[in-house]
A and B are shown apart, each in its own frame.
Chain A
């Protein structure tokens, strides 16, 4: 359950921006999570309210945007959608270099 640690990071990031960007409450948090990252969006949703309780994001809405995995073949230089890290190039079958899908970031916030 490293999703809990990651949510604690989210809370700390929000708290640090609250000072510099002068807000006191967060009403919405949008996360961007790549489908190849080892994060389970449902576990994030499950833990979000608990971790944000008593913080400036208590009761905030959580939106998770999932990003598809995308890999590039070094041999034939084609891009292939990846469902898993071990998916091969769909054109020549060789291993892919991950170009997209490992993301785990806070995209934006709505603050008051």
Chain B
């Protein structure tokens, strides 16, 4: 039987254009020497298994986990540094930093006195769940704590890879353009919170906040949105309140 169209009769060989975009070859002859195995297995099944294990680990230890995603330079590390300061030791925090190269971001986190582990992904453009599981052996993540994972700066690939987090938070800075949610819809579809960052620069850039919000809601009607400035502190308490609320709710229900 043809693995593409399910047909099994030789006379159908030439007539598939009306069903499929492209004509495809048939392989009935090949199958005479081979064996067909129906797999129906997700390409991400391995990552998803590790993500499930991570999620179970976090739940058992009441660790609240955020996966921060954005394009490079949107301000994830500054956001984390200011968040650590604002939370002011309410609960233990640990950070996993993902970058292709350098320890720069982990160093910035460590300067606040917070333990941080840098994962250099090398040629890879995203973090995977297995690497997070391995990081948990090296990083001192306390029970009843917050673990922030700063993903590789990339608005495409990290959207597909579940790390076991409670929330995927996409950071978009106003210097990037208000149409990013439509240009990179997968990420905004996968995230449940969008932070529009660097709002102190709004007077200097051509960024329409309302349009950006409308675009994000088109891609993901359920996405929650907070506009803030990490460096100037505008609306920062709204983000901190969101975080505290989620930690309180999620830790009593599920991670």
Contacts and interface: CB of A to CB of B under 8 A. Distances in A.
B104 interface: no
A88 B30 CA distance: 43
A43 to B, nearest CB: 11
B46 to A, nearest CB: 6
Contacts of A31: 43
Nearest to B20: A65
B157 interface: yes
Nearest to B5: A65
Given A65-B4, A66-B21, A110-B30, A12 B39 contact: no
B254 interface: no
Contacts of A19: none
A106 B41 contact: yes
A28 B27 contact: yes
B52 interface: no
A1 B126 CA distance: 10
B217 A21 contact: no
Contacts of B20: 65
A98 B185 CA distance: 13
Contacts of A106: 39-41, 43
A76 interface: no
Contacts of A30: 3-4
A85 B185 contact: yes
B35 A110 contact: yes
Contacts of B189: 85, 98
A26 B42 CA distance: 18
B43 A9 contact: yes
A63 interface: yes
Interface in A3-56: 5-6, 9-10, 12-13, 17, 21, 23, 27-28, 30-31, 37-38
A1 to B, nearest CB: 6
26 contacts: A1-B125, A5-B124, A5-B126, A6-B44, A12-B46, A17-B37, A17-B39, A21-B37, A28-B34, A38-B156, A63-B4, A63-B24, A65-B4, A65-B20, A85-B219, A86-B218, A86-B219, A104-B160, A106-B39, A106-B41, A106-B43, A108-B3, A108-B37, A108-B38, A109-B37, A112-B34
Interface of A: 1-2, 5-6, 9-10, 12-13, 17, 21, 23, 27-28, 30-31, 37-38, 61, 63, 65-66, 84-86, 88, 95, 98, 104-112
